Amino acid sequence: QSALTQPASVSGSPGQSITISCTGTSSDVGTYNLVSWYQQHPGKAPKLMVYEGSKRPSGVSNRFSGSKSGNTASLTISGLQAEDEADYYCCSYAGTSTVFGGGTKLTVL
Amino acid sequence: EVQLVDSGGGLVQPGRSLRLSCAASGFTFDDYAMHWVRQAPGKGLEWVSGISWNSGSIGYADSVKGRFIISRDNAKNSLYLQMNSLRAEDTALYYCAKDHNPYRGIAVAGFDYWGQGTLVTVSS
């Protein structure tokens, strides 16, 4: 049950696009199309942004999109806005358990 | 409106036990798998345990296996986590979370609703 690997931080200017990677193994990301992404603002509970790899829950902006290639999943945020500044976590089913990434701090410059 | 209300946290000595509860409302509780996720102070998210809609499938993180027990009472719309042999490293904010898709085992599609969290502090 090793954590998924995410970059510690990413940054971008308003209006730009950024991508956060999430690298796992053939035991989790590579096998299951059950990757989800969460946004967490300080002091708040996480919010689901993408589920089952690329699906957006009702109410989530279409500026957020998810994809996967091999053992790596990605979250892309287009048209960056100030309110997107937060921590982002990926998550994947891993056979008999679920594993999160270490989190990525997004800074909007 | 979906609501998950976590409770039961507190300060406990190492080696002791604590039972967390999560009261659910606003959705058909017994249609959905439920999970516990924790977050140590200043750290990332860690999946702790999950239970399928009918309690037929249960899973635990290696870090808590053999010490924690997850259960649910569908008649009471409630989820529980019995935490035994607590350690300092179990100190965290514990969230209950609902799976997005119904009628699943513990292979979570995504956690679409979260409780507000209940803080567990393990210290002498």
pLDDT tens by residue, B74-115: 999 999 999 999 999 999 999 999 999 998 889 999 999 999
The pLDDT tens digits for A28-76 are 999 999 999 999 999 999 999 999 999 999 999 999 999 999 999 999 9
Question: Considering only alpha carbons, which residue of chain B is nearest residue A104?
Answer: B44
Count of CB pairs separated by less than 8 Å, A with B: 72
Q: Phi first, then psi: give them for residue B92, nearest 5 degrees.
A: -175, 170
Confidence of residue A2 (pLDDT cuts 50, 70, 90): confident
pLDDT tens readout for residues A72-100:
999 999 999 999 999 999 999 999 899 99
* pLDDT-wise least confident of A6-10, A70-74, A93-97, A103-107: A93-97
Nearest chain A Cα distance for residue B100, angstroms: 8
Give dist(CA B120, CA B67) in Å, integer.
Answer: 15
Q: Could you tell me if A97 lies within 8 Å of chain B, comparing CB atoms?
A: yes
Question: By the CB < 8 Å criterion, does A62 face chain B?
Answer: no
Q: Residue B95: closest CA among chain A residues belongs to which residue? A: A45
**What local confidence, expressed as pLDDT, does residue A64 receive?**
98
Q: What is the pLDDT of residues B24-72, one digit of tens each?
A: 999 999 999 999 999 999 999 999 999 999 999 999 999 999 999 999 9
